[in-house]
Structure 1
Amino acid sequence: MRILILGGTRFLSREVARQAVARGHDVTCLARGESGPPVTGADFVRADRDAGASAYEELDGVWDAVIDVARKPQQVQEALAALSGRSSHWSLVSTASVYASNDTPGEDENAALVPALKPVDGVFPDPADNEYGAGKVACEELVWDLGPGNVLVTRPGLIAGPEDESDRFGYWPARVAQERSPVLIPDMAETMTQTIDVRDLALWLVTGAEDNRTGTYNTMGPSVPFGELLTLSTAAAGYHGSFRTADPQWLHEQGVAYWAGNESLPLWMPEGYEGFSTRSNAAAVAAGLELRPVEHTVRDVLTDEEARGLHRERKSGLSAARETSLLAALDALGSTGL
């Protein structure tokens, strides 16, 4: 097949390109090229999609499938205008952030969505950080309205795996691999986490193009309690130290961030997000989504973390100094270790 990837040089889209090439397809990646070189075996067209319709001028011929990972509706609209008539299948990577509510476990693709980002004078503004879901809803609406007819919309949650630059999932196996004891954790052992391995998601997208798969699917990994994820990380790293459990409200009062980002405890979420990591992936699994065991993802992520440096500066997680300070504060309160 001739497959065009709008992206192809960063994490998910790079893994899609890698797997598509490995399966024998003729792959072209269109991107700015600032995230790294294209994978070996793929053609590369350097273009900035913010430039509008001109970004697609160097693309020749027709495509059996287009795979788009864009978060900006304007980019999606312009790509569809330029290319939908030259492709028989269009795949959009959306997000679970399109859902309006995160408080109900087990919801499927029929759950209510946030309102779509709207164009202003016919042009979509770039989504602000708090408009990520709204921007993706607009992208979904565009592909259904302007796409070639055979459309696949994929809604993943947290994506993890080697080369993940967000540092969210990787924080925990990397942290226990450092052998600094104790490790500060939020009191959330039974709270669910839900992660899909980037390689499984990439394979779903490539086989979706091959099989002309259509529809909208939650492509989530298995729901795993945080305590189990921590146990898997400990086993992979061979950690023999202890853990210090802190009350979530106390952590919040100390300014520790939820979920991701600077001085955060990754994967920790506030109350009201009980459905965030328990969405149903039944439709995708029935349609062919294959998921590797979580322990395999943990192992491979740890290997990647070790290669990149366990003590490097991270985009998500607590710094050593901040963790030490919080542990000292807990000691002053007389908290016990678990």
Structure 2
Amino acid sequence: MCFRYLVGFARLGIVGALSNKRLKLAARCRLWNESFFSAPRLKRTPLGGTRRTRSDGVRILVLGGTLFLGRHIVEAALARGHDVVLFNRGKHNPHLFSHIEKLRGDRDGDLVALRGRRFETVIDPSGYRPEHVRAVTDVLGGAIAHYLFISSISVYRDFPPHRSFDEDAPLAEGDQGYGALKARCEDMLEEALPGRVARVRPGLIVGPHDPTDRFTYWPRRVARGGSVLAPGRPERPVQLVDVRDLAEWCVRGAEQCRVGVFNAVGPRSTLTMGQVLEGCATVTESVARFKWVPDEDLLAAGVKPWTELPLWIPESDSRVGGMLLADNRRAVAAGLTFRPLADTIRATLQWDRREGAAGHDLPIRVTPIPPEREAELLAYCV
């Protein structure tokens, strides 16, 4: 538990009595301050957090938890011995996690199941409208000691070409579009729960159970062999994070009550599109031949970046050319680690061959170019 809050809540009669063990742990917490509720809040560094041992089970509410990142977060939390409760509509994969408590409801007005409940940490991988996030904080109120919100690098205002950006870059304004809505969710949470929020901003999340096809296309396509249309330059930098690495890091953040803002992208060092495709070829033992087509030729042919050719963003695009250049040093310093790319490719392809995302009809799923269109483009551009 986030002991600095727990002790204060107990003194205010909000939670029950604490065990001696937890009181002693709270007393040792380096961030605990006897005047916490009476003195002005001290600004905490982004890497701050209350440390607890793995043996201290945390009561975690996961909003969603059965689709992609949420699913992996639940699995990681259970593997680390935590008490996990789900709140969702029961729409996606309701058969999962039958042995844990599931609260049914809808963030769009039906939060009755959350009333009177208390959790040490809320992990929110599904919120993208500020009114939905606000509804949760209103219902749970003082019962939230720590809130970990999965935001997005889309919150930033723009992504100039060939320029990296960190967590202090300007955010999107207004309330139109996915990125702006995520930014408003962040603002609302900081207002409602000052000093208790972790704002995690991933880029492209990849791995098993990904319903979007935004990465899975490449291992699948390279495994098929033949001439592969490869977009842009092989040296073009790309970023992605394995969902399993991100999920475990989020759970450890809940254990530590980590707060602050983090660009949760990977890997630690530069990764290029050429390395991604060569990695796919190595893992699949494919004899695919990569035909690199310049950005301008693909644009002239009407190819849609990111959706028809996943992981492709034209480097010269004045608005989003630098979207895959996020500075992740803060997240790395806070313990985010990255498994080898080959592991990600292999696990993704194994899952795709076993079950894949064919049954998911979601607006976030992309539609990569079919083989016939790829052949036409290769004939036209190469």
Shared topology, TM-score over 0.5? yes
Asked if 1:183 corresponds to 2:228, the answer is yes
Counterpart of 1:46 (choices 104, 123, 145) is 104
1:325 Cα deviation (Å)? Answer: 2.3
Return 5+ residue gaps in structure 2 as ranges: 1-57
- Is structure 2 residue 297 aligned with structure 1 residue 240? no
Pairing 1:189-228 to 2, within 5 Å after superposition: 189-222=234-267, 223-228=270-275
Distance in 2, matches of 1:311 and 1:240, equals 26
Q: Report the CA distance shift for 1:10/1:198 in structure 2 as closer, same or farther (over 3 A).
A: same
Unpaired segments ≥5 residues, structure 1: 118-126
Q: Note the C-alpha offset of 1:241.
A: 3.0
Higher fraction of strand: 1
- The separation in 2 between residues aligned to 1:105 and 1:288, in whole angstroms, is 25
CA contact (8 A) 1:67 1:92 kept: yes
Q: Distance in 1 between matches of 2:358 and 2:68?
A: 21
How far did residue 60 of structure 1 move?
4.4
Amino acid aligned to 2:310: P
Match for 2:338 among 260, 272, 291? 291
TM-score normalised over the length of structure 2: 0.77
Deviations 1:304-330 (A, max 9, x none): 222236999983311112112223334
The CA deviation at 1:148 is 6.2
Q: Which has the larger radius of gyration?
A: 2
* Cα distance in structure 2, aligned partners of 1:66 and 1:309: 29
Q: Which residue of 1 aligns with 2:204?
A: 158
CA contact (8 A) 1:17 1:42 kept: no
C-alpha distance in 2, partners of 1:247/1:275? 17
Percent of pairs with identical residues: 38
Question: Aligned partners of 2:224 and 2:97: how far apart in 1?
Answer: 31
- Counting only pairs closer than 5 Å after superposition, residues 111-150 of structure 1 correspond to structure 2 as 111-117=169-175, 131-147=177-193, 149-150=195-196
CA shift for structure 1 position 19: 1.0
Does residue 25 (structure 1) correspond to residue 76 (structure 2)? The answer is no
Deviation string, structure 1 residues 286-315 (Cα, Å, up to 9, x no partner): 111122122221121121222236999983
Looking at structure 2, the residues matched to 189 and 308 of structure 1 have their Cα atoms a distance apart, in angstroms, of: 31
Give the equivalent residue in structure 2 for 1:266.
Answer: 310
- Name the counterpart of 2:372: 321
Query: Which residue of structure 2 aligns with residue 168 of structure 1?
Result: 214
- What residue identity is the alignment partner of 1:245? W
- 2:188 and 2:232 map into 1 onto residues whose CA distance is 42
| TM-score, normalisation: structure 1 | 0.87
Q: For the structure 1 residues 66 and 294, does the alpha-carbon distance in structure 2 shift closer, same or farther, using more than 3 Å as the test?
A: same
Q: Shift in Å at residue 40 of structure 1? A: 4.5
Inter-partner Cα distance in structure 2 for 1:285 and 1:302: 27
Deviation at 1:26, TM superposition (A): 1.1
2:30 matched residue in structure 1: none
143, 151, 164: which is aligned to 1:106? 164
Task: Give distance in 2, aligned partners of 1:182 and 1:311.
Answer: 25
User: Cα RMSD between the aligned structures?
Assistant: 2.0
Task: Name the amino acid aligned to 1:20.
Answer: A
Aligned pairs, number: 313
Q: 1:251 to 1:279 in 2, by over 3 A?
A: same
Contact 1:21 1:42 in 2 (8 A): no
For 1:193-220, what per-residue CA distance to the aligned partner results, in whole angstroms no more than 9, with x for missing partners? 1001111111121111100111111111
**Secondary structure at 2:353 match in 1:** helix
The answer to whether the 8 Å contact 1:184/1:244 transfers is yes
Measure, in 2, the Cα distance between the counterparts of 1:186 and 1:25. Answer: 43
